[in-house]
Structure 1
Amino acid sequence: MPGLLQRVKSKMFIFAHRKTLGLLEGEYGSVFRGRSLDFDDLRTYVPGDEVRDIDWKATARHGSPLVKRYTAVRRHSVLLLVDTGRTMAAEAASGESKLEIAVEAAGVLGYLACRHGDDVGLLHGTETSNRYLPPRAGEHNLERLLREVQSAVSPQGPASALAQQLDYALRFLKGRLLVVGVADEFMPDQHTVELLRRLAARHEVLWLTIRDVELVSDATAPSSRDLGTGSMIPSALAADPDVRKAYLAAMHQREERRRELFRVLGIAEEQVGSSDGVVPAVFALLERHKAGRSGRAG
């Protein structure tokens, strides 16, 4: 049986031209550009040093200006933060499992990190547990992470609770990370919004939303079940034109609120509804993040 990462790489080369893959790697490489540095020690200020590098507390103790000296970070750490609650076993917009798309997305982003020599880790969980696998290098490690995600999701499993995973990341994970969230169309409550705000202040954060399947349009089809709540949606009701119109309007408003929320938080967010759309969505996500950083710098 072929490995999950091998399947991801095969699909990447099928659905993307060589030029597109080169651009994709370039966009990933731009994520960490800038002050990709770790503190080393202090030295005496000399004309031309940046004012923001002055250590004011040390300067006050020493009596003359001291600046922080940094060393370049040559390897970065990427954290895949994946929702593995039971709703990820539901259908996505394409009719595929959301889990299949999540594995594909995590694989593409993880593969880009591996190509750049970066470490990749995983944080996933539900309302009942968190599971953290620290960042490590290499494709063998990435394959292990993808299999971890694949085996963690079940229609009978616990519900999602992204706030718990975000809280875990804030309390226990040190050092600057590139955090890539992969989840379904959840709408953060105020507590989750505050956790996302704090996470974005500490790390580079990107978010990929997996789109839900639409309501059935065939009144004779079997009724659908909401995996999140367990409630049934009668097909006759879902196929009613007025119900569908109201549902689509509500979902559109919800989508706009979520997009605005991520914009205010300064977190690049992109949506994907199929495994074939993962590479374009990741490319658009990295571009959106780059544009957002340029806007904040300006």
Structure 2
Amino acid sequence: MKKLASLLAVALALGIAAEAPAQTLDRIRATGVVTLGVRDSSLPMSYVLGSDQAVGFQVDICQRIVAAIKRQLNLQKLEVRYQVVTSQNRVPLVRNGAVDLECGSTTNNQARQQDVAFTLTTYIEEVRMAVRANSGIRSIRDLEGRTVVATTGTTSVQHLRRNSRATGLKFNEILGKDHAESFLILESGKADAWVIDAGLLNASIANARNPADFAVVGEVLNTEPLAIMLSKDDAPLKALADQTLRDMMRSGEMKALWNKWYAEPIPPRNVRLNMAPPAALQKLWQDPNDLPMESYAATR
């Protein structure tokens, strides 16, 4: 039975000192269980409906990889368990083996590659900011003296501070424990802007009580390749996952999943995000890679 792991399980997993076994597929074969790390509110990439249903673009991709694992290992049954992860604990949970595939909204960067590995890039995101539509904020420079909210464990505000237009800019920063709380802080007026991936901003606004009250504005602060995390130095699992992704891109299944989550109505409110795949992502579907953020920035 598919289920979401408890917070106690998270605490125990974080306390494990041992590294994950090098060959995750061997462990999956022996236990008949694969554990997917999911987010609770990263719409439409990875989020939880009710108490026991994980859904989203990345979750669907991970399900395809799970199906490939089941076929390769010739298993009659493969139990899928879901483990809710946060921006703070997602890397440790993959590193110590509590999560086999992290199906969230995680940027592939060089710092994280010290601890984990990444599949081929599944999404290319632009970091921007959401504001109240009547705030008058339209550019980074408009943030002078304002308050910016960021989700704990993300790097969005660092990108803001590094932008040349932010030189000498003074603003206050507060943290939300997760994306849902960050948007609530913006919605309640406690912050003037929320900085994060544009897709997440659009999804949060679309699901707000009054979507017209908010807008995504300003310069692109960073371009980030998102991918699925897995155990470091686990070549067999990465090879299987990457081949699954290549097949999905080649067959058009990846584009179909994009339409499902970014163009069609999505739960829980059946809203449409009406987002076309970015040109950079369409190019990636033709020529996949697993380059980290720093390499992508250097070549764009």
TM over 0.5: no
* Higher RCO structure (Cα 8 Å, ≥6 apart): 2
TM-score w.r.t. length of structure 1: 0.34
Greater share of helix: 1
Greater share of strand: 2
TM-score w.r.t. length of structure 2: 0.34
Instruction: Find the structure with the greater CA-based Rg.
Output: 1
